[in-house]
Amino acid sequence: MGYDFDWVSAFSDQAFGGNGCVVVHGATDLNLETRLNIVRETSLSECTFIEPSDIADFRFRIYLASREIPFAGHPTLAGVASLMHRGLLPGRKITVETHAGIVPLEVLDDGQISMTQIAPEFGANVAAQLVADAVSLSANDIIAPPQIVSTGLQFTVAVVRDRDALGRAKLDIPALNLMSDEIGAPNLDIMEPFLVTLEGATSAGDTFSRLLLAPPNPAQDPFTGSATGAMASYLWSKELIEKPTFIAEQGHDMGRPGQAFVEVLGSRSDITGVKLAGKAYVTMSGHIHL
């Protein structure tokens, strides 16, 4: 059997920028283990499998190397870019079915792809010391109470003091496991802490983030769209940003710069969703032989 795929650089307008994602077409018959093997073979953090949907234009199923997850931002952006590249989009506005709900997307005039993530769910606060230990920082490096937030996938959002602290962060697996045990992450499917500082990596940016990942994933994610939505909701609700629109940057320290235009929808106390817009570049295409 064979399956077409595109390798997409999401949240970037150039090859090898942003976050890479392989998008696989026509693979509805593939079982879970084969899908996970494809992710492992790419050495990417996630891959998207596009399937038919009865309730939306397409169904996107997204996999890590270890499991399927309900939603992720850059694989969703990559999926739309792949469909556009292959001339399969029915129009500039489409809907995508995910395990986290229906995601509206639109191809904008400047070529950016805009997605509207669902209204955030704010979970429990997490002790700053637990988060700090998990990323090898001190509690003083974290300047606001970390909190579990989801716009489709749960993250512990933590605001760090400055770029220096962000750069010093290093994942401590035993401490991460302790944090996970304390907050019940094995049952709640919470990803690793999403660290953000309130200054850009470039003069164009307003925030700069890092997501350090545990094995079998790559050591760091270049750009994390789902976490950016959760982070934006957190910052707006906590009055840590003045405006609901800003430029989020990630991946510059890895040589894979990524950028998104972010708009939080609704008031600080009643957020109805988050829009993320970014570009995507189809770096290569091919055929999987199985």
The C-alpha angle 235, 240, 243, rounded to 5 degrees, equals: 80
Residue 251 has pLDDT above 90, yes or no: yes
CATH of domain 2-107+280-289: 3.10.310.10
Determine what percent of the chain is predicted with pLDDT higher than 90: 92
Looking at residue 185, what is its pLDDT?
Answer: 63
154-159 and 194-197 beta bridge pairing: parallel
pTM for the model stands at: 0.91
The helix/strand/coil state of 19 is strand
**In CATH, what class is 121-278?**
alpha beta
- How would residue 190 be classed by pLDDT, with cut points 50, 70 and 90? low
The Cα–Cα gap between 97 and 54 comes to 9
Looking at residue 192, what is its pLDDT?
Answer: 87
Looking at residue 189, what is its pLDDT?
Answer: 60
Residue 37: half-sphere exposure toward Cβ, Cα within 13 Å: 8
Looking at residue 198, what is its pLDDT?
Answer: 98
- How would residue 186 be classed by pLDDT, with cut points 50, 70 and 90? low
pLDDT in tens, 22-66: 999 999 999 999 999 999 999 999 999 999 999 999 999 999 999
* Domain span(s) for CATH 3.10.310.10 in the chain: 2-107+280-289, 121-278
